[in-house]
Amino acid sequence: MEAVYVMWLRQLKKTWRSKARIIGSLGQPLLFLLALGFGLGAVFEKAGQGNYVNFLVPGIIAMSILFTAMFAGIEIIWDRQFGFLKETLVAPIPRWKIMLGRTLGGATTSSIQGIIVLLIALLIGFRPVSLLGALLSMAFIFLIAFMFTAFGTAIASRMTDMQAFPLVMNFIIMPIFFLSGSLFPLTEAPAGIKAVSMANPLTYGIDGLRGTLSGASHFPILLDFSVIISGAILLGLLGSYLFSKIEV
């Protein structure tokens, strides 16, 4: 079990040591929160949808988790390139344990990132409905983080070069983000967008966050939770399968 711990610890140390990365990855959610929150807030309220900041904050928390988690997973490409991957691949540890350690590490750092965004949101006036809700939201934060770190790992296990990086960014991360009800409510969306969003696991993660933090969810919270935990487990299994097939 020490191997899992070591891989987890490594992920944390690396993130902690790269302060620029922590600060850098807060820029985007902050911008979205301020620009959209204040820019679209009035329109949203006029349309009779209530307080936009309350609606937006869970979406932005999920966004920052999505981005950091996917990148944490995709980091395998860097390890492949700088060689450290080989060191872990020849070690007498089942590969799923290595993958689990990495994924837990990435999930931990991106959860922390999500919590920082939540704290920032508190500063600009966001208030969770209840303390219990805020505590429950931590489960969603961690599961979203785990799911997408595992997803990033799965993708990176099949990728050998950096050229694929922008592709992943534009064709995987962005659609997952925009088609998840993060920025606008799905109730009024056209059927096509609605259908795609329903198939997107992040939708349920965000909905769960909204339910626990803002007190208004589209689906029952138990459904959100079931979908997100199944997604985390399935992608975790897929990630460790693909990771175990890596040849260098």
Q: List interacting residues with other proteins (CB under 8 A).
A: 2-3, 5-6, 10, 13-14, 17-18, 78-94, 160-163, 247-248
Query: To 10 degrees, what angle do helices 19-46 and 95-123 make?
Result: 50
Phi, psi angle pair for 69, to nearest 5°: -65, -45
CB of 46 to other proteins, least distance (A): 44
Residue labelled with tokens 């500063």: 123
C-alpha to C-alpha distance for 148 and 131, rounded to whole angstroms: 26
- Least distance in Å: CB of 50 to other proteins? 42
HSE-up of residue 24 (Cα within 13 Å, Cβ side): 8
Q: What is the DSSP letter of 125?
A: T
Output 48 or 82, the one with its CB closest to other proteins: 82
Query: Nearest Cα to 213, choosing from 49, 67, 53?
Result: 53
Least gap, CB of 233 to other proteins (angstroms): 24
Query: Which residue type occupies 84?
Result: F
Least distance in angstroms from the C-beta of 13 to other proteins:
7
* Pair of tokens at residue 166: 């922008």
The number of helix segments (H) and strand segments (E) in the chain equals 12, 0
User: Which residue type does 44 have?
Assistant: F
Q: How far is the CB of 189 from other proteins (least distance, A)?
A: 36
Cα separation, 142 vs 81, in Å, equals 28
Closer of 85 and 136 to other proteins (Cβ): 85
Q: How far is the CB of 16 from other proteins (least distance, A)?
A: 10
Give CA–CA dist 203/143, Å, rounded: 13
Our CB check for other proteins shows the closer of 90 and 123 to be 90
Could you tell me the smallest distance in angstroms from the CB atom of residue 154 to other proteins? 20
In this complex, which beta carbon is closest to other proteins, that of residue 89 or of residue 216?
A: 89
Would you say 90 or 131 has its CB closer to other proteins? 90
Nearer to other proteins, 17 or 127 (CB): 17
Residue 56 in contact with residue 33, Cβ under 8 Å? yes
Nearest to 244 by CA among 61, 99, 116, 122: 99
